[in-house]
């Protein structure tokens, strides 16, 4: 029988079924961080339970961590306590920990793939909704709650409802200034924040195949904002190349055997999806959110809605409320709106390929004096790789702050935040009320749109700026890994 890639991995991990559609799945990898884990560990301790497979469990610190100099102490007492609790728990339960000071520290959804903890065909869970990101490598990955996390610690299994399946087919090729971030924002705009509830979304089509693994992560990451339970992309040679030589990836005979298995993880020709959505990305324009959820989104050259034109009463009230919260006038153009800050970071858009794109737009140009602009690399490894290439010099000469890694302004649990009423263009994934700090006004966009806005000091169309070529970046050191996995896909390879 024809099966999708998701069904193949699902079937390989199902141990049991209960009720109508709940299945017990074995968990090959459990990633955990300081915020959603302490109460799960507490639960284990209270009943004298251990972590069943510490060798399949990895902990790191990302949500709370300051992004300033690591030699400085963590000033926020509550953040420090959660970080210390994770360190104690990791030691007590014999789990590998990448702590605040580790050179491998970073955002969990950036670190997993780059260390080879994320592999095609494995099941991954993490107490974080954006765990779907790992699906870009062909893993079956689910964000879970704290009680579920405790269950995984103790049993290495998780009870899941089998999601219905949806395909989002991205046809054509990304041209110039439209990026996968713009595509996923557009999909959510069309389908709504609940449009994919109960579904696992497989991203398919030429546009998905033609981009690099990191760009696919942006798609899978944000599928959650459309309500999807998870997202996945068929693994291919690009994924293998991305993982080859990574510290925890299999090697030697294991690597060959793994690849033979991964080659079978394709969606069969006759496989059926419950739903299908198609989009040709060739003519897509850069997208930006205007409101307080990711579906409240328009093209950067468009105008925000006018509540008078919204028929449904609840929807109209929500539009009114969102415009008022965001300090925007009904029907106004979004381009040209003055901003206070730009944040390039988060598990959505803070990988090396994102930073290269930003460098191509900002090289030799200056950030507006009215704007605080910061770049927070997705991991310390991303940071080191960028520095070897000399990207940090391009950013700092333009006037960007060059920070250490963490979730930062995307969730504002550390000091990086917008003040009340401040407006920022962020490359992250959520623009909910107060998300980047009390009273913060967040516009979600691609790294290119964020960078262009930083230069102009207002919401800007990146198409106003010529991109310098990769050669003109005059990169200082390009490792073979970077050449193959980052630069080649950007050259359209």
Looking at residues 325 to 344 of the shown chain, list those that interact with another protein (rule: CB under 8 A).
Answer: none
Q: 3-state DSSP helix/strand/coil percent for the chain, to nearest 5?
A: 40, 20, 45
Stretch binding another protein (CB under 8 A), from 140-148, 331-339, 395-403, 449-457 = 140-148
CA distance to 320, 329, 339, 449, per residue, from 305 (Å): 9, 9, 20, 20
Starting at the edge strand found earlier in the chain, the sheet holding 22-26 runs: 14-18, 22-26, 157-161
**Binding-site member from 70, 81, 206, 490 for another protein (CB under 8 A):** 81
**Binding-site member from 307, 434, 463, 470 for another protein (CB under 8 A):** 434
Residues 6+ apart with CB under 8 A from 32: 40, 57, 58, 59, 60, 86, 95, 126, 127, 149
Stretch binding another protein (CB under 8 A), from 122-130, 272-280, 328-336, 459-467 = 122-130
Question: Which residue has 């690009």 as its token pair?
Answer: 238
Binding status of residue 91 toward another protein by CB under 8 A: no
Stretch binding another protein (CB under 8 A), from 177-185, 221-229, 280-288, 391-399 = 221-229
Tokens for 449, please give them.
Answer: 């749109």
Phi and psi angles of residue 260, each rounded to the nearest 5 degrees, phi first: -60, -40
Give, as ranges, the residues between 356 and 375 that touch another protein (CB under 8 A): none
Question: Which residue has 């990305």 as its token pair?
Answer: 281
**Binding-site member from 65, 258, 304, 451 for another protein (CB under 8 A):** 258
Q: Which helix (H) or strand (E) holds 396?
A: helix 391-398
Minimum CB distance to another protein, residue 41 (Å): 9
Binding residues with another protein: total (CB under 8 A): 95
One character per residue 446-485, x = contact with another protein (rule: CB under 8 A): ---------------------------------xxx----
Give which of 344, 124, 142 is closest to 230, Cα–Cα. 142
Question: Which residue has 């107490």 as its token pair?
Answer: 127
**Binding-site member from 3, 70, 241, 255 for another protein (CB under 8 A):** 255
Minimum CB distance to another protein, residue 383 (Å): 11
Rg of the chain over CA atoms, in angstroms?
22
Minimum CB distance to another protein, residue 149 (Å): 9
**Binding-site member from 165, 179, 293, 428 for another protein (CB under 8 A):** 293
One character per residue 49-68, x = contact with another protein (rule: CB under 8 A): x---x-xx-x----xx----
């Amino acid at each position: 029988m024809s099966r999708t890639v998701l069904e193949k991995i699902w079937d390989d991990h199902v141990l049991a079924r209960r009720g109508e559609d709940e299945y017990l799945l074995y968990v090959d990898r459990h990633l955990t961080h300081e915020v959603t884990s302490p109460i799960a560990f507490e639960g284990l301790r209270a009943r004298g339970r251990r972590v069943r497979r510490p060798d399949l469990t990895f902990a790191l610190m990302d949500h709370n961590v300051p992004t300033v100099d690591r030699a400085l102490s963590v000033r926020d007492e509550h953040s420090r306590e959660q970080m210390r609790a994770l360190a104690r728990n990791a030691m007590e339960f014999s789990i590998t920990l990448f702590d605040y000071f580790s050179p491998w520290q970073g955002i969990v959804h950036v670190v997993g793939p780059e260390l080879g903890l994320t592999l095609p065909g494995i099941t991954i869970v993490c107490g974080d909704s954006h765990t779907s990101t790992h699906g870009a490598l062909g893993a079956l990955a689910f964000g879970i709650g704290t009680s579920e996390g405790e269950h995984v610690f103790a049993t290495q299994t998780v009870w899941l409802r089998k999601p219905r399946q949806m395909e989002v087919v991205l046809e054509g090729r990304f041209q110039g200034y439209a990026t996968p971030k713009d595509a996923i924002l557009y999909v959510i705009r069309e389908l709504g924040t609940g449009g994919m509830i109960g579904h696992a979304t497989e991203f398919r089509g030429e546009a998905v195949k033609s981009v690099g693994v990191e760009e696919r992560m942006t798609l899978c990451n944000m599928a959650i904002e459309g309500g999807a339970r998870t997202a996945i992309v068929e693994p291919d040679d690009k994924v293998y190349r991305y993982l080859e030589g990574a510290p925890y990836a299999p090697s030697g005979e294991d690597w060959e055997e793994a690849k033979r298995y991964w080659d079978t993880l394709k969606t069969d020709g006759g496989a059926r999806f419950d739903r299908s959505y198609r989009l040709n990305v060739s003519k897509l324009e850069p997208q930006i959110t205007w409101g307080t959820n990711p579906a409240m989104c328009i093209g950067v050259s468009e105008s925000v809605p006018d509540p008078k034109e919204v028929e449904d009463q609840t929807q109209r009230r929500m539009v009114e409320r969102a415009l008022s919260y965001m300090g925007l006038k009904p029907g106004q153009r979004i381009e040209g709106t003055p901003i206070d800050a730009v944040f390039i970071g988060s598990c959505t858009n803070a990988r090396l390929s994102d930073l290269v794109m930003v460098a191509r737009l900002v090289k030799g140009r200056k950030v507006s004096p009215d704007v605080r602009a910061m770049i927070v690399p997705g991991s310390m490894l991303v940071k080191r790789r960028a520095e070897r290439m000399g990207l940090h010099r391009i950013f700092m000469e333009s006037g960007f702050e060059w920070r250490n890694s963490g979730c930062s302004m995307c969730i504002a649990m550390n000091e990086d935040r917008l003040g009340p009423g401040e407006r920022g263009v962020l490359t992250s994934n959520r623009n909910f009320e107060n998300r980047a700090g009390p009273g913060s006004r967040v516009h979600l966009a691609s790294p290119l749109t964020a960078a262009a806005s930083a230069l102009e000091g207002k919401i800007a169309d990146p198409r106003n700026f010529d991109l310098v070529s990769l050669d003109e970046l005059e990169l200082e050191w390009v490792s073979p890994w970077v050449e193959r996995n980052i630069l080649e896909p950007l050259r359209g390879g």
